[in-house]
């Protein structure tokens, strides 16, 4: 199955195509991914209620997608977080690389995206 089947692109003020991951920061159950976009803007993508994530060390992105189907990794995260496979509203989010393969997979309750630095022209 293609990593983008049954997935919906996450709305963002700027598209993720031709963007680069700058930093990952985890604090308690929040994962913040800082991204430099194609037009030299900086986005802060905050995943809330995170119960697990994994990454492939890819840096160049094409999209951020979500799915209500959390898959095997999500089920494993649920079993560790809640001692069972009972979901509390978690979704699967995936940053896709330029080949549409999964760069980062996050199991979380939600996501917030904001511009933290714009082009100063």
73 band by pLDDT with thresholds 50, 70 and 90? very high
User: What is the token pair recorded at 53?
Assistant: 């994530």
- What was the pLDDT predicted at 107? 97
Q: Using CA atoms, how far apart are residues 51 and 93, in angstroms rounded to an integer?
A: 12
Give tens-digit pLDDT for 80-89. Answer: 888 766 778 8
Beta strands in the chain (DSSP E): 8-9, 19-27, 30-36, 42-48, 52-55, 60-67, 91-97, 102-108, 110-117
Question: What's the pTM?
Answer: 0.89
4 band by pLDDT with thresholds 50, 70 and 90? low
- What was the pLDDT predicted at 57? 87
């Amino acid at each position: 199955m293609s990593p983008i089947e049954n997935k919906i692109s996450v709305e963002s003020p700027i598209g993720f195509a031709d963007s680069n991951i700058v930093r990952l920061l985890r604090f308690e159950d929040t994962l913040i991914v800082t991204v430099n976009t194609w037009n030299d803007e900086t986005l802060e993508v905050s995943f809330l209620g995170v119960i697990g994530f994994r990454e492939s060390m890819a840096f160049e992105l094409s999209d951020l997608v979500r799915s209500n189907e959390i898959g095997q990794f999500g089920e494993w995260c649920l079993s560790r977080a809640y001692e069972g496979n009972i979901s509390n509203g978690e979704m699967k989010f995936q940053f896709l690389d330029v080949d549409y393969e999964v760069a980062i997979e996050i199991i979380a309750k939600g996501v917030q995206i904001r511009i933290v630095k714009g082009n100063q022209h």
